[in-house]
Amino acid sequence: MKFLPLNKIKSGMIVAMNIKDFKGNVLFKKGTILNKEKINIIKNNGIFRIPVIEKKAEIKSVSDAAHAHSFISKELLDKSFEKVKDIFEEIMNTGKIDIAKIEEVAVNLTKEMQKNFSDKLYVPLKKLKTYDEYLYSHSLNVMILGSLIGLENGMSDEELTELALSGLLHDIGKVKIPLEILNAPRKLSSEEFELIKNHVLYAKDFLENSGITDKRIINGALEHHERYDGSGYIFKKKGKDISNYGRILAVSDVYDALTSKRCYKKPWTPYKTLSYILSHVNKHFDPSFTQNLVNALGLFPPGMKVMLNDGSEGIIIATNRSNKMKPIIKVNDDIIDLLEEKNLRITKIINYEYIEDQTT
Ligand SMILES: [Fe+2]
Ligand SMILES: [Fe+2]
């Protein structure tokens, strides 16, 4: 990122931090791709220098281009992962959750996501490095996806933090399940599956024993395997009988589980996963929370290689939340916002390539 005087600003550069007018109103959000018109608006507001990412000099990789629109920095994602790992290891040793520590992770992430929740969005998820780290990366990713739904839904600060906490701890009950069952690279026996189901009850015990009294946080974890049509577990609750957080975490949980690599399966692409989720709306998933998730993730997920009607090929790097069909694309060294390039459109999906730090 650089602070450049306006005469050095060129079309195609990306705004690196929100630009505000003298009253403090946001003129252009972080991630906005500048053009002549926007540069003039900035000039007319009497602003002389702005923070930008120079696309050609600084955006070499697809990952860098995507991260210019990310609502969580790579640093905070990595730092949060390390903290979640430490906290979970402590829970395994002591049987207690250090609520203050996990709350700090939830609050820091929620604040950053709220601040950077722009119209143009890339949602980074933590990449799984080793199979035994799945619980940590999954917990973090379910929290991020749940918060994304909460943000789309216009939840209050308080609700967002509670939801984040519920997401981070939704699978904490799994620390009581033997690893050879949890990571079994085979079909589980019905007895083993019954045992795994108990992780939602164990989560409730953990939360209550650690001093969490808020029912909404507890129910989020307790009900994340309930399904909208009553086909889930553990109470076989249906529809709106399942708490809001339970329904939000259910769809977030499935999205991350399917897109993750496990010892018994390859990762699904975000595209295949979204298709699966959309085909299970009203059966497994709440329709409006699913809509929130799809709005934020887009129908053309970052990493997808597509062809445009002018014959050029590019990779999706971010979503336009206002139009799921018009994402932001990196074509060679150029960043193209389909919302603004009215003559361009996607004509073909070529394949899917993982962005360096997406879940693989
Ligand atoms: Fe679970
Ligand atoms: Fe889960």
C-alpha of residue 38 to centroid of ligand 1, in Å: 46
Q: What whole-number distance in Å separates Cα of residue 344 and Cα of residue 338?
A: 6
Q: What is the pLDDT of residue 56?
A: 54
Q: How many CA atoms lie within 13 A of 1 on its CB side?
A: 14
Please give the domain boundaries of the chain with CATH numbers for all domains. 2-58 (3.90.105.10), 77-297 (1.10.3210.10)
Q: What is the pLDDT of residue 357?
A: 53
Q: What whole-number distance in Å separates Cα of residue 282 and Cα of residue 219?
A: 20
pTM of the shown model: 0.85
Ligand nearest to the CA of 203: 1
C-alpha of residue 44 to centroid of ligand 2, in Å: 50
Q: What whole-number distance in Å separates Cα of residue 289 and Cα of residue 118?
A: 19
Ligand nearest to the CA of 174: 1
118-165 residue pLDDT tens = 889 999 998 877 777 889 999 999 999 999 999 999 999 999 999 999
C-alpha of residue 149 to centroid of ligand 2, in Å: 16
C-alpha of residue 206 to centroid of ligand 1, in Å: 14
pLDDT bucket at 50, cuts 50 / 70 / 90: very high
Q: What whole-number distance in Å separates Cα of residue 18 and Cα of residue 51?
A: 9
* Most confident region among 25-29, 121-125, 224-228, 296-300 by mean pLDDT: 224-228
pLDDT above 70: percentage of residues in the chain:
96
**Mean of the per-residue pLDDT values for the chain?**
90
